[in-house]
Copies of this chain bind each other. A is one copy, B any other.
Amino acid sequence: MIHRLPTLQGVVKQLQQVPFLASKNLYRVLSHFLEMDPAKIDAFCAALKSAKLNLIPCSRCFVWQERGQACLFCGDTKRDTSIICVVESWQELLAIERTEGYKGLYHVLGGTICPLDGIGPEDLTINQLVSRIVHPVKEIILAMNQTPEGEATSAYIVQKLLKIDVKISCLAKGVPVGSSLEFIDRLTMFKALADRRPF
């Protein structure tokens, strides 16, 4: 029946392109927008356009920054410039920042190497990462997601850095804090045993 309501079809097509909207939720989100005040729709659209206009990736580390302002990390003299944490995207960076336990710099790759999706190393910011590894950088932390693509990207970067004198580390693998050992998958348990630490 939707094809008989062209305006509706137009907005449905737009919403279908938004990730993480399952087709069932899509109509609920649509209802939400249709029931909103027009002024609120305007505010929503204004915020989106303003974000698109005023948020740009930092030219060094590719973290989003406000146009005309210094990067939150590269421009912060209190951060430790001897260490760079490499993440796939901004979401992983947020997860690391939430720990409040990391004071170094970041490098956002913009994804992972994924030949099936046609994403090669040249589509990521790997070359820019390599060119950043000069004095005073001493360590690179590879904080990829624990997926085949993430691991492959890590391996590729490690190979790229073979000739450069820099320490390369990756996140510890093991049982999550607060978890029941009963429900831990086999590989994680194996890794937690193999990488056991002095108490």
Interface hit among A22-30, A134-142, A164-172: A22-30
Given contacts A20-B21, A29-B19, A55-B34, contact A50 B94 (CB under 8 A): no
A94 to B26, alpha carbons, bound, how many Å? 12
Q: Are A94 and B21 in contact (CB under 8 A)?
A: no
Q: Which listed residue (B11, B25, B51) contacts A11, Cβ 8 A? A: B51
A186 to B57, alpha carbons, bound, how many Å? 54
Interface centre among A21, A32, A41, A48, by most B CB within 10 Å? A48
Asked if A5 is at the interface (CB within 8 A of a chain B CB), the reply is yes
CB distance from A174 to the nearest CB of B (A): 22
Q: Are A45 and B49 in contact (CB under 8 A)?
A: yes
Asked if A159 is at the interface (CB within 8 A of a chain B CB), the reply is no
Chain A positions 86-138 with a Cβ under 8 Å from a chain B Cβ = 89-91, 94, 97
Q: List 17 A-B contacts (CB under 8 A).
A: A8-B64, A8-B66, A11-B47, A14-B47, A14-B48, A17-B44, A18-B29, A19-B29, A19-B32, A20-B28, A27-B94, A33-B51, A34-B51, A34-B55, A41-B52, A45-B48, A45-B49
Residues of chain A whose beta carbon lies under 8 Å from any beta carbon of chain B: 1-2, 4-8, 10-11, 13-14, 17-22, 24-25, 27-34, 36, 38, 41-45, 47-55, 64-66, 72, 89-91, 94, 97
